[in-house]
């Protein structure tokens, strides 16, 4: 057991793996070569079509103890991972680790297969009930939560060797070329799948839309695809694209957005060459609306918008406010339609997006980013993984990647949620280190990290409601009371891995 | 010394490397993992701009004995390789191997640097005087000629480890994202450079057109580029794109094209889903014209055109005769313009094009391909490397790759060139094994390989001038006489590597 630099107790090992405690966002250096795979020669004019999913599992050579992956671009509409695990189970294969790019609520169907040992580990974060059960000690399945960039790093460095990637391929030909642009399960960008396609030892393209050769434009090429499997459906198209991408109408949210826009204005970054990322939350989109107005008014020609992309950013691209969009994942149908048509709407891999161990990822080029939070502490550390009961309910996404990369990361959150204080002495779980967070914006005011004294001065000059973060906490505690600490057992059930592979926090079993 | 399966004497080693004699086009299996490179973390917000070429060489850490590469998409207009070697020489670095994707006549400027030991080996074929001097024994520099697919294989398998790739980047941003579509040195596809970008240990993007971040659409991403160097010019734009891409007007050439079109017609492949490749020669383009007419007349919806792409194929794509183009290299400005605009004009890497050691290259999907020849023997073996005096004057290009991949490879050549017999008992050098050549078409008639009896029968039914290849040879010899064999010394000066890495032939020093 050791304490990392943020004071969190980190065990020496977890699920048999030696752990490196987190130190800081910058100094850890890679000592690895890019992961490799055995080279295979396809028989001349050989076929890759193997039939359905079960045949694909057999053809792939999947065996007990191996690691599989899928991508999450179909999000809560994804049917593939559930179908796949059912087939694996039916074939009697056990002790499989899942290293998908993310797991969603729909994958609660995996719970019985975890209980019976078909699945024995999660090398990826989860959204939803699986994490809750693991937190409660009701499901025994070690879990390692990684950010999008951290996952790319782990695969690229060979830290997580994926034996077989089963990649949903919305528009695919019989030789395995595919893209995400067209078909009933179109999801747009295949940014997450790209990493697996290059680094998994075997790659299966799974499609519900086999098109004549060649499936152009090609996102993932035939040269890395070993097998092509056909399924009736990859998922529920209605749920593939989230529809919760509307601007908030909540007055508190609108207030927060207004303050966040003041911060962006004060930063001085909104000028030619400006680059920007927001998420899909209603507050984030309200901030984006302010930014759009600023850019229009000042006739700013921005550089790029980044991240999971919405129709909002597509409009800004088409209006000429940005030169390009970098898209790791499409969040709505307008984005899906745009990426298939507009070459300035650039698909990027999760590695290009956010891997800290390469010759520079796109997050490193961001000026301003809007990030959400479940909890924020007085050192600006942010938690997005665990919720008020201490349960692991959310994946990290790109949170810590973007915070580290952007020149100015702005965390937006209401100060109180469901009577719980959001700004507080300590966060339950540290997802993102405070050192990488510039500003916290709540409806009660704006707290600026001490490392940005000029921004603070400018905000004060603008008569923005700047407050010390401890003052924010005190105001909140005055209403909510001091939160009662959650009681945890010693048992570590999950790791929160920082993007560089060091362990920034752990998730302990909640005491019952 | 051993004889390979085609009877060629192959030494056990060459330039210190153990050789594998060629057996057949299909059976050699890879026993390798994909080559890897050390992972490097760019300092947060670190700059990649290093100044000019000399600073880039210094920054790259290039040392005596290392291997460099460039790509040849700028062809005979390329200034980079000459400039680069001058800088390397000025820095006092010696014993450098060049593993570029091809070397052209313009690179004759390297000769003095080979003489003085700055350059000590060529891991790539050459077009032009360097090969001639090596053949004459006037330049001591071991040379390994590889096909486009074979080169990709050698880099990807790690057989040729490139220490530093210096990649001409016609449209590049300061973070190293680049494409070939725009700028004074626009060359279109960067198909060859893609392999080096992924597999060289260090990558330098060299540009004469630094554009604001991000250089979209991105062909080669920032994540693999270590340094960005600026130069006044990458080359002579007038020579970047060859203008010798016109249909022949020579009556013999037109006759050959007509016969080749009969062969294609007889093959039955010209139907929906048809795929086709030609080179840029005047005969090839005349064949393409016939094919276009056939496709129009029969209302054929083809699958794809492939290879180095000309405006001819662009027209066929836009007319709807093909669904897509696969472009490893643009041969004219119309192709350059198209690939930057039309997403059905698909850029492909040299590995995707033709590497025999992957999950299937694009050449494997070809129906018909038109190939040229310097000499053809009675076993259908083809030589494109050496000319009548025995000098190594030409690179292999995609010749043996396409022949192996296509269902029907058609070699077109006049039966006599400059009083020399083209169809003959034995070729000076075997580039492409006869087993992979379907038909030889000359103005005197059509010879069909015995492995295609149905095609032969159909051609006879069509009253095409089908002749046994020995009969063709006899007719030719009756005019030219039996060619006097070239006299060679025992000394092997170069290897002709087959696409799978085995040695199909060697080049010996010409006796003086």
Residues 148-167 of B with CB under 8 A from A: 156-157
Give the tens place of pLDDT for each residue, B63-83: 999 999 999 999 999 999 999
- Are A216 and B26 inside 8 Å of each other by CB? no
How would you classify the pairing of strands B503-510 and B488-497?
Answer: antiparallel
* Mean of pLDDT values over B429-446: 98
3-state helix, strand, coil in chain A (%, to 5): 30, 25, 45
Mutation target vs A (from B359, B361, B409, B436; most A CBs, 10 A cutoff): B359
3-state helix, strand, coil in chain B (%, to 5): 30, 25, 45
Closest CA to B253 of B285, B276, B293: B285
Q: How far apart (Å, rounded) are the C-alpha atoms in residues B29 and B356?
A: 10
Give the chain A residue whose CA is nearest to the CA of B407. A45
Contact between A29 and B45 using a beta-carbon 8 Å cutoff: no
Q: What is the pLDDT of residue A321?
A: 98
Provide the token pair at A436.
Answer: 């990488």
Q: What are the backbone angles phi and psi of residue B356, rounded to the nearest 5°?
A: -75, -15
Tokens of B439: 């038909």
pLDDT at A243 over 60: no
| Angstrom distance (rounded) from CA B474 to CA B445 | 12
Cβ-based neighbours of B246, under 8 Å, separated by 6 or more: B282, B285
Res B240: pLDDT? 78
On the 0-12 / 13-18 / 19+ scale of CB atoms within 10 A, A86 is: middle
SS3 A204: strand
Contact of B104 with B84, CB cutoff 8 Å: no
Pairing of strands B488-497, B143-145: parallel
DSSP state, B33?
A: B
Distance from CA of A487 to the nearest CA of B (A): 38
| Closest-CA residue to B99 (of B31, B53, B167, B34) | B167
Q: Residue B242 — very low, low, confident or very high, per pLDDT cuts 50/70/90?
A: low
Residue B32, burial from CB neighbour count under 10 angstroms (0-12, 13-18, 19+) = middle
- pLDDT tens track for A247-275: 888 999 999 999 999 999 999 999 999 99
In terms of DSSP H, where are the helices of B41-139? 53-60, 80-90, 111-115, 129-135
Count of residues for chain B?
512
Q: Do B223 and A42 touch (CB under 8 A)?
A: no
Structure tokens at B233: 């010019």
- The torsion of the CA quartet B166, B167, B171, B175, rounded to 10 degrees, works out to -60
Q: Over the stretch B275-320, which tens digit does the pLDDT of each residue have?
A: 999 987 889 999 999 999 999 999 999 999 998 899 999 999 999 9
Local confidence band at A193 (pLDDT 50, 70, 90 cut-offs): very high
| Contact across the interface for B212 and A156, Cβ inside 8 Å | no
Q: Are B480 and B416 in contact (CB under 8 A)?
A: yes
State residue A54's pLDDT score. 98
Three-state SS annotation for A124-167: CCECCHHHHHHHCCCCCCCEEECCHHHHHHHHHCCCCCCCEEEE
How far does the CA of residue A367 sit from the closest CA of chain B (Å)?
Answer: 11
- Given a cut of 70, is residue A44 above it in pLDDT? yes
Among the listed residues A159, A120, A126, the one whose alpha carbon sits nearest the alpha carbon of residue A139:
A120
Which two tokens mark A158?
A: 């060979």
Residue range A144-165, pLDDT digits in tens: 999 999 999 999 999 999 999 9
- Residues in B 340-359 with any Cβ partner in A closer than 8 A: 343-344, 346, 348-349, 351-352, 355-359
Q: Is B176 on the interface with A (CB under 8 A)?
A: yes
Residues of B within 8 A of A360 (CB-CB) are 42, 46, 48, 175-176, 222-223
Cα–Cα distance measured from residue A61 to residue A362, given in angstroms and rounded to the nearest whole number: 36
Residue with tokens 């096909």: B147
Helix, strand, or coil (residue A458)? helix
Helices H / strands E in chain B, number of each:
15, 29
pLDDT for position B280: 78
- Peptide bond between residue B217 and the one before it cis (omega within 30 degrees of 0): yes
How far is the C-alpha of A508 from the C-alpha of A492, rounded, in Å? 4
Within 8 A by CB and 6+ apart from B326, the residues are A214, B304, B305, B306, B307, B346, B348, B352, B353, B362
Q: Give the separation between CA B505 and CA B494, rounded to whole angstroms.
A: 9
Residue B191, helix vs strand vs coil: helix
Separation in Å, CA B337 to CA B182, B326, B342, B418, B507: 9, 15, 9, 38, 39
* Mutation choice for B interface testing from A30, A32, A41, A161 by most B CBs within 10 A: A41
Q: Kindly state the tokens that stand for B159.
A: 């057989």
Q: How many CB pairs under 8 A join A and B?
A: 179
Asked if ipTM goes beyond 0.90, one says yes
Helices A148-156 and A191-199: crossing angle, nearest 10°? 10
* Interface with B, mutate which of A300, A354, A360, A406 (most B CBs under 10 A): A360
pLDDT in tens, A294-331: 999 999 999 999 988 999 999 999 999 999 999 999 99
Q: Which residues of B touch A175 (CB under 8 A)?
A: 360, 365
B277 CB within 8 Å of a chain A CB: no
The verdict on a CB contact (< 8 Å) between B323 and A214 is yes
Strand pairing class (A119-122; A96-98): parallel
A298 neighbors A209 (Cβ within 8 angstroms): no
For residue A488, what is the enclosing H or E element? Answer: strand A488-497
Is any Cβ of chain A less than 8 angstroms from the Cβ of B304? yes
Nearest to A405 by CA among A57, A162, A150, A188: A150
Average pLDDT value for residue range A114-138: 96
CA A219, CA A74: separation in Å to the nearest integer?
16
Tokens of B184: 């004074």
Instruction: Please give the pLDDT value at position A329.
Output: 95
What's the Cα-to-Cα distance from B279 to each of A66, B36, B104, B181, B287, rounded to whole Å? 46, 33, 17, 21, 10
pTM of the model: 0.97
pLDDT band for A17, please (50, 70, 90 cuts): very high
A110 with A134: CB under 8 angstroms?
Answer: no
Q: How far apart are CA B400 and CA B387, in angstroms?
A: 17
**Is the Cβ pair B405, A33 closer than 8 Å?**
no
> Pick from A100, A109, A56, A104: which is nearest to A78 by CA?
A104
Q: What DSSP element (H or E) covers A237?
A: helix A237-240
């Amino acid at each position: 057991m050791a304490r990392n630099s943020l004071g969190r107790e980190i065990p020496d090992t977890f699920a048999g793996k030696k752990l490196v405690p987190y130190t800081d966002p910058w100094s850890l250096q890679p000592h690895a070569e890019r992961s490799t795979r055995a080279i295979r020669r396809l028989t001349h004019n050989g076929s890759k079509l193997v039939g359905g999913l079960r045949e694909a599992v057999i053809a792939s050579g999947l065996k007990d103890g191996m690691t599989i992956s899928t991508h999450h671009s179909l999000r809560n509409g994804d049917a593939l991972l559930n179908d796949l695990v059912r087939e694996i189970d039916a074939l009697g294969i056990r002790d499989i680790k899942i290293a998908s790019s993310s797991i969603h609520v729909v994958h609660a169907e995996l719970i019985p297969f975890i209980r019976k040992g078909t699945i024995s580990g999660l090398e990826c974060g989860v959204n939803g009930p699986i994490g809750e059960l693991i937190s409660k000690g009701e499901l025994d399945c070690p879990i390692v939560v990684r950010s999008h960039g951290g996952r790319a790093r782990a695969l690229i460095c060979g830290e997580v060797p994926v034996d077989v990637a089963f990649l949903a391929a919305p528009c695919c030909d019989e030789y395995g070329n595919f893209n995400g642009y067209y078909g009933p399960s179109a999801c747009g960008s295949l940014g997450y799948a790209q990493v697996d396609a290059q680094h998994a030892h075997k790659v299966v393209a799974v499609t519900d839309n086999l098109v004549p050769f060649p499936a152009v434009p090609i996102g993932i090429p035939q040269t890395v695809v070993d097998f092509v499997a056909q399924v009736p459906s990859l998922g529920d198209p209605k749920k593939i694209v989230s529809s919760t991408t509307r601007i908030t109408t909540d007055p508190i949210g609108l207030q927060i957005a207004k303050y966040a826009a003041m911060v962006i204005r004060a930063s001085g970054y909104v000028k030619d060459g400006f680059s920007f990322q927001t998420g899909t939350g209603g507050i984030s989109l309200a901030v984006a609306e302010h930014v759009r107005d600023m850019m229009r008014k000042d006739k700013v020609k921005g550089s790029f918008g980044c991240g999971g992309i919405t129709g909002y950013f597509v409009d800004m691209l088409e209006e000429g406010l940005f030169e390009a969009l970098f898209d790791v994942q499409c969040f709505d149908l307008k984005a899906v339609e745009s990426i298939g048509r507009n070459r300035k709407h650039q698909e990027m891999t999760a590695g290009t997006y956010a891997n800290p161990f390469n010759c520079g990822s796109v997050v490193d080029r961001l000026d301003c980013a809007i990030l959400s939070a479940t909890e924020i502490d007085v050192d600006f550390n942010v938690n997005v993984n665990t919720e008020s009961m201490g349960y692991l309910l959310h994946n990290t996404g790109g949170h810590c990647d973007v915070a580290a990369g952007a020149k100015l990361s702005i965390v937006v959150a209401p100060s109180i949620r469901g009577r719980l204080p959001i700004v507080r002495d300590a966060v339950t779980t540290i997802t993102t280190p405070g050192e990488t967070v510039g500003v916290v914006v709540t409806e009660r005011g704006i707290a600026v990290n001490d490392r940005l004294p000029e921004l603070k001065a400018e905000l004060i000059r603008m008569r923005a409601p700047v407050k010390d973060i401890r003052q924010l906490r005190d105001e909140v505690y005055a209403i909510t009371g001091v939160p009662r600490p959650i009681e945890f057992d010693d048992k570590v059930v999950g790791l929160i891995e920082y993007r560089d592979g060091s362990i920034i926090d752990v998730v302990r079993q909640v005491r019952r």
